[in-house]
Amino acid sequence: MRGAVIHAPGDVRLETLDDPKILQPSDAIIRTAVTCVCGSDLWPYRGLEPIGEAHPMGHEYVGFVEEVGSEVTSVKPGQFVIGSFATSDNTCANCRNGFQSSCLNREFMSICQAEFVRIPNAQGTLVATDERPDEPFWPSLLAVSDVMGTGWWAADAAAVTPGSTAVVVGDGAVGLCAVIAAKEMGAERIIVMSRHEPRQTLARAFGATDIVTERGEEGVARIKDLTGGIGADSVLECVGTAQAMQQALYSARPGGNVGFVGVPHGVAIDGQELFFSHVGLRGGPAPVRRYLPDLIDRVLSGRINPGKVFDLVLPLDRITEGYRAMDERRAIKALLTP
């Protein structure tokens, strides 16, 4: 099969790889319908995370079941399935508590920019649709496997409630999906921190009521201006940088909550500062599996359309262009068709 491999910063290649095989009775093999490049893939691509030896890339996927192990009964060959970037048995104590991304048998996916993918813990990870979805739904269902699920977790962790004011820090695919989530959870005011006009337009289409272009202290001051000097009820941090986290914490009101879902890079939080802020802080890898059935229903019913974050569609053999376009901010998110 063909699959993406990263060799060094700026060096992603499509190569011929071994076809995946069932290795454990809990495995499944899927043929990808569509896959994509994630904003988090840009960290190693930009040299901001160590790469080590060349290795496959990709953790977002939807597709058709080709083969299942002997223990897998929840899905069967031919079905269209959606999974999570973190696999889970969906039966351990952490899974039962709704934190499948901390499953005791968790494996993180990292091989999905390919024609075929082995899914560990398939019994608990994969959710099948009742029927084969029409192709126009595929991008939104792919978004559910990560960026929409992660955006939903940001809003959930930040305790967005009906009538509340929410601030979204970050205008990438996760941040834009977080706008959808805040809207669906009933936020009356959704303020998005963004400097990019096309992303601002999409944010407004998803439900944003205000745009703040300032960053750092100026950005925080602007948020305070918009919230009567107090700050927001909920802040959704969807970037992962030190500046983004600082903006998020300072933009929340006393008693407010910050949900942080951007993988932290260089983030350090002052304990004294957090203590006296009265701000709640929760985050981590999104428990996407918890939300999958509900989000799939919202997509297939036409209630949400997170697939709009894909503003570049390329065949898999042009994956290098997809990485480059996202790195240069010419694209929000690149969809790949095998």
CATH number for the domain that contains residue 328: 3.90.180.10
- 265/221 same-domain check: yes
Q: Which of 283, 300, 329 is the last residue of a domain?
A: 283
- Gap between the Cα atoms of 229 and 212, Å rounded: 15
Residue ending a domain, choose from 263, 283, 303: 283
Q: Are residues 101 and 212 in the same domain?
A: no
Q: Which domain holds residue 44?
A: 2-146+287-337
Residues contacting residue 235 through CB under 8 Å, at least 6 positions apart: 158, 166, 167, 168, 169, 248, 249, 251, 252, 256, 257, 258, 259
pLDDT (tens digit per residue) in 7-17:
999 999 999 99
pLDDT band at 301 (very low <50, low <70, confident <90, very high): very high
Do residues 300 and 216 both lie within one domain? no
- Residue the block writes with tokens 């205008």: 171
Do 8 and 140 share a domain, yes or no? yes
> Are residues 260 and 299 located together in one domain of the fold?
no
pLDDT at 278: 97
Q: Residues 17, 126: one domain?
A: yes
pTM exceeding 0.85: yes
**Same domain, yes or no: 136 and 21:** yes
What is the domain count for the chain? 2
**Based on the domain organization, do 163 and 201 belong to the same domain?**
yes
State residue 277's pLDDT score. Answer: 96
Q: What is the mean pLDDT of residues 126-132?
A: 97
pLDDT digits (tens, 9 = 90+) for 145-160: 999 999 999 999 999 9
**In terms of C-beta density within 10 A (0-12 exposed, 13-18 middle, 19 or more buried), how is residue 198 classed?**
middle
Chain segment 222-261, per-residue pLDDT in tens: 999 999 999 999 999 999 999 999 999 999 999 999 999 9
Other residues' Cβ atoms within 10 Å of the Cβ of residue 289: 26
Per-residue confidence (pLDDT) for residue 245, from 0 to 100: 96
| CATH number, domain containing residue 221 | 3.40.50.720
Q: Are residues 161 and 192 in the same domain?
A: yes
Helix (H) or strand (E) holding 178: helix 173-184
Rounded Cα distance, 196 and 294, in Å? 31
* Overall average pLDDT of the 110-127 stretch: 98
Give the per-residue pLDDT at 331: 97
Q: What is the mean pLDDT of the chain?
A: 97
Q: Tell me the pLDDT band of 304, cut-offs 50, 70 and 90.
A: very high
Single out the residue in 283, 308, 329 at which a domain terminates: 283
The verdict on 142 and 162 lying in the same domain is no
Statement to judge: residues 91 and 192 lie in one domain? no
Residues 316 and 240 in one domain: no
Q: Would you say 171 and 239 are in contact if contact means Cβ atoms under 8 Å apart?
A: no
The pLDDT-based confidence of 127 (bands split at 50, 70, 90) is very high
